[in-house]
Amino acid sequence: MIISFISQKGGVGRSTLARATAVEFARACKKTHLADLDSSQQTSAKWAERRDNTGIFPVVETGVYRRHDVALKAASNYPCLIVDTRPFVDISSLDIARQSNLVVIATGTSLDDLEPSLLLGRELVHKGIPHNRLFYVVGKAPSQAEGRSAIQTISAWQFACATSFIMFKPGYSIALDAGYSITETSWKTLNLRARNVISEISVRVSSHP
Ligand SMILES: Nc1ncnc2c1ncn2[C@@H]1O[C@H](COP(=O)(O)OP(=O)(O)O)[C@@H](O)[C@H]1O
Ligand SMILES: [Mg+2]
């Protein structure tokens, strides 16, 4: 099973969602591999190194890939392949999206973030990715109202969207800096909210195998 995390822009929480999904899938005892295709920034791979150095459980096996075809080959060795793509959509992201069971589009709540994210969804559908394989997740919402409003906009564009969203909270970035995922912070409510999002991703991918 391949779940790819795609966004048109950087900084919207794409790698953050990919990392949390990898952690929660690994915790559920699914042999999971996190493929980091952003070979210049290597956000996910560097985070996995911090996690390893601190000895955090579960271990998240991670690899950096310059070539998406090599990353996709890893899927034959792992029941779950989580792909963190680059902060723009190129031929390689399209190819990954085509081969993914679920394409998670991470987006912020401002119009500056939402509009390119929604246009990206349209472009993916136009390029032949089945509509029901796309799943939007709102990350870094500055308030509950803005999170809910972003979800309404995404639904108005007829795209499926997680009903839970990730708030912008320093507790999340502190956890990430220390090698934890957003489901493993020191704050129970933050963990619960993040786990709700990941479980929606998990349910969605199992209902569209
Ligand atoms: N919900 C959040 N609250 C606070 N900081 C966050 C949150 N999500 C991500 N971050 C921080 O924002 C930055 C960008 O997140 P990242 O997931 O790497 O974005 P992308 O992969 O879309 O470029 C990182 O420094 C990360 O620690
Ligand atoms: Mg990233």
Q: At what angle do helices 14-27 and 188-207 cross, to 10 degrees?
A: 80
- Contact predicate 45/64, CB 8 Å: yes
Sequence-ordered list of residues with C-beta below 8 angstroms from that of 77, at least 6 positions apart, any chain:
33
Question: Which ligand gives the minimal distance to the CA of 140?
Answer: 1
Atom of ligand 1 nearest to the CA of 43: 18
How many Å apart are CA 131 and CA 46, to the nearest integer?
Answer: 33
What phi, psi does 84 have (nearest 5°)? -95, 110
Ligand 2 mean position, distance from CA 132 (Å): 24
- The per-residue pLDDT for range 15-59, each reduced to its tens digit, is 999 999 999 999 997 799 999 999 889 999 999 999 999 999 999
How many Å apart are CA 190 and CA 84, to the nearest integer?
Answer: 22
**Interior CA angle at 23 toward 25 and 9, to 5°?**
105
- What count of other Cβ atoms lies within 10 Å of the Cβ of residue 128? 9
Is the pLDDT score of 209 beyond 70?
A: no
Atom of ligand 1 nearest to the CA of 9: 22
Atom of ligand 1 nearest to the CA of 170: 4
Read off the DSSP letter of residue 108.
Answer: -
How many Å apart are CA 152 and CA 91, to the nearest integer?
Answer: 30
Ligand 2 mean position, distance from CA 131 (Å): 24
Per DSSP, the three-state class of 159 is: coil
- Contact predicate 187/174, CB 8 Å: no
The DSSP H or E segment spanning 126 is helix 111-126
* Pocket mutation for ligand 1, best pick of 167, 173, 182 (most atoms within 8 Å of C-beta): 173
- The per-residue pLDDT for range 151-208, each reduced to its tens digit, is 999 999 999 999 999 999 999 999 999 999 999 999 999 999 999 999 999 999 998 7
